[in-house]
Amino acid sequence: MKLRSLLYITIVGSVVTGSLSCTKLNEEFKGELQEGGASNVEPGALLTTAYTSLNTPYQQEQRWVMQEISTDAAIAPTRGGDWDDNGMHRAIHLHSWNADNGYMNNTFVSLGTAVYNASNVLKYQPSAQLAAEARFIRALAMFDLLDLYGVAPLRDGASIEDFRVPPEVLQPQAAIDYLVKELNEILASLPLNGPTRAFEANRNAAKVLLMKIYLNKGTFLNRQSPAFAKEDMDKVVSLAKEITMSGLYSVSATGKYFDNFAPDNDVKSTENIFTLYNKNGERGGAIDRTWNTVAHYNLNPGGWNGWCTLSDYYDKFTETDERRGIYYDYAADTTSNKKKAFHRQNVGFFAGQQYNWSTNQPLMARNPPNTPLVFTREVTIRTSGATLETAGIRPMKYAFDYAVTGQRNNDWVVYRYSDVLLMEAEAMLRGGNGSAAEGLTMVNDIRDKRGVTAYTSLTLDNLLDERARELYWEGWRRQDLIRFGKFLLAWQEKAADPDPKTLVYPIPSQQIAVNPNLKQNTGY
């Protein structure tokens, strides 16, 4: 059971939307707080609002789409008249987006909402720990804004007191300096939690975010030709070793990879460092999207039959790789797949013929109903005809929580220990303290536990592939491809980018219209 004395379930008002704009909603919300008086405002409740505001951009929506659908890991094909949405999904995969694409503004606003909600906590005399947690949430959202849009807007000080004052907009170097300073200042006030309380901002989560800042610093400053300074790579290595030395984490044992994504991952995981809280009847939301966006209508439960992966990405996995898909035995599986020991694959990449988990009989498609439900390797950006419902291999990483009706209990994974080790190995390859041999040992330890053979040597290319396998659909693929210089290349259903402007997304038109401090990115 997930309990947290400092996170109150009652949330003050609604999560503020459009926080980077001067909106009437923001003014009304601020007015309500002033009318009630600061003495009536509970910082813990406001902090809960700040935490919850991360769920929407992260949990297979918004930020996730921009980080994964834009890559070789995921595609959102139009299926006849379904999943068209004026082409905004196709544009993300094809790199043909513009500043008016819905994902540009929705993601910008959601991350800005988290920045606002976190800053708002700090107005009401929170304890040192509550303040540190709020500042971590703000830093996390600002890091994402910097990564996606190349700038980090900040509502603080005058701009949070008076919505007529537009948010400050930090350019890359200033944003990096600000985030590093913020995170170092709050480290001592954050709790030293392990995986069972990963849903609470903690010291090691802040260190992971610092690792990501230092590892991507050169990319944020020059996306076409990043430099990886030794001093930055040394920071990545030293932070990773501090996390390891805390003794709180270990790479999941063989057969336990999906413990990290299970309905009770707050109890089972040995890897999770920071997660987003989902608890049926309490708070959270949208974790069902991890199933609904990909599952066919006739699966149990039925989904929206949409997104999938590409066969070249799927082929990175060998048959023995646990991450590719297994039958996962877990408590919240109440289906006959477990009770009658059918033991059909229930997590990972779903390919080929699918089966009814009540009868163990082959499933059929919905339309036409006499077509076997066989998920094919082949998929196109626009699907039609006989393969309309069946095109594409479907990744489903979060084991479905059959034990509850309503909000599922899986906490969404933001940071995991295996990512820490892979970043540490990468920093060593890029000139940080340590050696390629040391990095090879760390990567092979992960590979061994996933059931695949050891690498004989470690290179940037095979390390990128290992990140693709270990962290698939966790929201890091675009960032990785840019850092490794491969985001502009061609892959299935996407030609090579003719213009490097796509290394950063455009600032949404709606935001430029209301904030004079925002300037459009080059090329848009």
Question: What would the pLDDT profile of 419-440 be if each residue is shown by its tens digit?
Answer: 999 999 999 999 999 999 999 9
- pTM: predicted TM-score of the whole model, two decimal places: 0.93
CA–CA dist 275, 295 (Å, integer): 23
Alpha carbon of residue 418 to chain centroid: 15
Q: In what order do the strands lie in the sheet with 325-326?
A: 325-326, 347-350, 394-396
For the chain, list the domains and their CATH numbers: 1-170 (1.25.40.390), 288-402 (no CATH)
Nearest alpha carbon to residue 426 among 463, 470, 472: 463
Structure token pair of residue 243: 């996390």
Look at residue 155 in the predicted model and tell me its pLDDT. 86
Is residue 412 classed as helix, strand or coil in its secondary structure?
strand
Residues with Cβ < 8 Å from 175, sequence gap 6 or more? 142, 146, 151, 152, 220
Nearest alpha carbon to residue 209 among 51, 431, 419: 419
Are the C-beta atoms of residues 276 and 53 closer than 8 Å to each other? no
Decide if pLDDT at 23 tops 60. no
Are the C-beta atoms of residues 283 and 52 closer than 8 Å to each other? yes
CA–CA–CA angle 365, 367, 371 (5° rounding): 45
Task: Enumerate the β-bridge partners of residue 170.
Answer: 152
Question: What would the pLDDT profile of 70-109 be if each residue is shown by its tens digit?
Answer: 999 999 999 998 999 999 999 999 999 999 999 999 999 9
Report, as an integer, the average pLDDT of 233-262.
98
Are the C-beta atoms of residues 347 and 325 closer than 8 Å to each other? yes
CA–CA dist 382, 390 (Å, integer): 13
Are the C-beta atoms of residues 373 and 351 closer than 8 Å to each other? no
Question: What would the pLDDT profile of 136-151 be if each residue is shown by its tens digit?
Answer: 999 999 999 999 999 9
Look at residue 162 in the predicted model and tell me its pLDDT. 84
Look at residue 20 in the predicted model and tell me its pLDDT. 42
Exposure class string for 31-51: b at 16+ Cβ within 10 A, else e: eebeeeeeeebebbbbbbbbb
Residue by residue, DSSP assigns 308-351 as: BB-HHHHTTS-TT-GGGEE----TT--SHHHHT------EEEE-
CA distances to 31, 74, 384 from 494, in Å: 48, 12, 19
Look at residue 122 in the predicted model and tell me its pLDDT. 96
Report, as an integer, the average pLDDT of 158-171.
89
Report, as an integer, the average pLDDT of 516-523.
97
Look at residue 98 in the predicted model and tell me its pLDDT. 97
Question: What would the pLDDT profile of 253-308 be if each residue is shown by its tens digit?
Answer: 999 999 999 999 999 999 999 999 999 999 988 899 999 999 999 999 999 999 99
DSSP state of 387: G
Alpha carbon of residue 503 to chain centroid: 18
Residues with Cβ < 8 Å from 89, sequence gap 6 or more? 65, 69, 76, 78, 83
Decide if pLDDT at 408 tops 50. yes
Are the C-beta atoms of residues 317 and 323 closer than 8 Å to each other? yes
Structure token pair of residue 58: 């992260």
- Long-range residue pairs from 124-128, CB within 8 A, at least 24 positions apart, any chain: 124/38, 124/41, 124/42, 124/43, 124/46, 125/38, 125/43, 126/43, 126/44, 126/47, 127/43, 128/189
Look at residue 1 in the predicted model and tell me its pLDDT. 43
Structure token pair of residue 421: 């080790």
Q: Is pLDDT larger for residue 473 or for residue 155?
A: 473
Q: Is pLDDT larger for residue 490 or for residue 35?
A: 490
C-alpha atoms less than 13 angstroms from C-alpha of 307 in its C-beta half-sphere: 25
Are the C-beta atoms of residues 53 and 135 closer than 8 Å to each other? no
Q: What are phi and psi of 193, to 5 degrees?
A: -90, 155
Decide if pLDDT at 152 tops 90. yes
Strands, E assignment, 125-262: 152-154, 168-170
**Cα dihedral 377, 379, 384, 390 sign:** positive
